[in-house]
Amino acid sequence: MADVDTDPVAALATLRAHQASHPLSILSLAEPILSSTTTNTTPKDESTRSDGSSHPQSNTNNTAPSRASVSNSDLDSDPFLTPASLQADLTHYKDLFSKLRFSYLEQVTKEKYLRSIVGDPPLVVTHDENMALETRLAAMKTQVKAHKDQVDALVREMETTARDLATKYQKVTNGMAVLERLPDEIARLQRDVDALVAEVTEKQRVAGRNASADPRMNMSLEATETALEEQKRRNKEIDEEIEALQRQLPAQVRQVDKMDRELADLEKRRNEATKIARDLQKRRMEGGRDDLEDMGRWYKSSETVLRGLLGVESR
């Protein structure tokens, strides 16, 4: 049993053997319906329905053609059968057979009545006999109704069981289809596994040949896990440093902006001083007097006069 559970071929063979030994009669009954979906048959003749519906009180001679047409309609099935269409056909046939039964009973009753009145001697039925027959007929109708209710309940139970069995059979059929595909899938997966094993073996061989270039490739699993934890710890420290620097970044940016403004001010003053120095140098080269120099001499002479007046000696 374990081999059957693990081997899809054996499981499929077991299921097919079980189906062969226990065939489902419903499948043989459904073959005409199933075959109708694969053949290009002509649509059913609707004249059978119209004739049966328009003449409910036909004689017994019309009964045989009607039944023949019903059997022919089973053979000339709709190529697109659905549960709804089958249910509609079933309802139609029930109504048709009910009308045929009514027509048959009416014909037989007429025949018996005519025989009773033309017989020798004629059959005379009294009122008491009619009442007895009515009572007996009522009891028989009650029994028939009870049997009909039982049959309806049994039919509903059979329909429910049939639907459950159809669902289970569909699941088994789908499972058998999967089992049919499994050998090819297993073979393909085995080829993929073999290719991956060969690839891993080749990579291991290349890694063993290049072990001297990278000693970490020869580390054991525990050593590799330790190195990985150490690297994670370092990465965590680096992340913390990055976060600290990011928190300091706004202050550093403001300081840099301040220094940029100061540097721009210094650049402006340097440019102004450079411009003044160039102007002075240009004037000296041209032999002109310098205003600052004249002002300096004037300040110096004024200082000498003031010191003389005040009696302050210059140091």
pTM over 0.85: no
The whole-angstrom separation of Cα 274 and Cα 276 is 5
The whole-angstrom separation of Cα 200 and Cα 192 is 12
**Of residues 178, 170, 156, the one with CA closest to residue 12:** 178
Non-local (6+) Cβ contacts of 16 within 8 A are 176
Domain boundaries, the chain: 37-123, 125-208, 227-310
Take residue 184 and report the two structure tokens written for it. Answer: 């090819």
pLDDT tops 90 at residue 42: no
Do 291 and 281 touch, CB atoms closer than 8 A? no
119: helix, strand or coil: coil
DSSP 80: S
pLDDT at 127: 86
Residue 173's pLDDT band (boundaries 50, 70, 90)?
Answer: confident
Residue 313's pLDDT band (boundaries 50, 70, 90)?
Answer: low
Average pLDDT score over residue span 154-182 = 88
Do 104 and 71 touch, CB atoms closer than 8 A? no
Do 32 and 75 touch, CB atoms closer than 8 A? yes
pLDDT tops 60 at residue 56: no
The whole-angstrom separation of Cα 167 and Cα 291 is 116
The whole-angstrom separation of Cα 315 and Cα 312 is 9
Residue 254 neighbours by CB distance under 10 Å: 10
**Worst-scoring range by mean pLDDT, 61-65, 134-138, 220-224?**
61-65
pLDDT tops 90 at residue 165: no
- The count of C-alpha atoms lying within 13 angstroms of the C-alpha of 294, restricted to the half-sphere facing its C-beta, is 5
- Mean pLDDT of the chain, nearest integer: 78
pLDDT at 311: 72
pLDDT at 16: 79
The whole-angstrom separation of Cα 41 and Cα 76 is 7
Average pLDDT score over residue span 112-116 = 84
| pLDDT tens per residue, range 229-261 | 999 999 999 999 999 999 999 999 999 999 999
Query: At CA 194, angle to CA 10 and CA 205, rounded to 5?
Result: 155
pLDDT at 203: 82
Average pLDDT score over residue span 186-209 = 86
Average pLDDT score over residue span 290-307 = 78
More confident: 314 or 202: 202
Orientation angle between helical segments 8-21 and 127-209, nearest 10 degrees: 160
Query: What is the CA 161 to chain-centroid distance, rounded?
Result: 30
DSSP 117: H
The whole-angstrom separation of Cα 190 and Cα 231 is 38
Q: Which helix or strand (DSSP H or E) is residue 180 part of?
A: helix 127-209
Residue 36's pLDDT band (boundaries 50, 70, 90)?
Answer: low
pLDDT at 3: 52
Take residue 115 and report the two structure tokens written for it. Answer: 């025989």
pLDDT tops 60 at residue 78: no
More confident: 314 or 230: 230
Radius of gyration of the chain (CA): 57
Residue with tokens 């080269």: 285
pLDDT at 72: 44
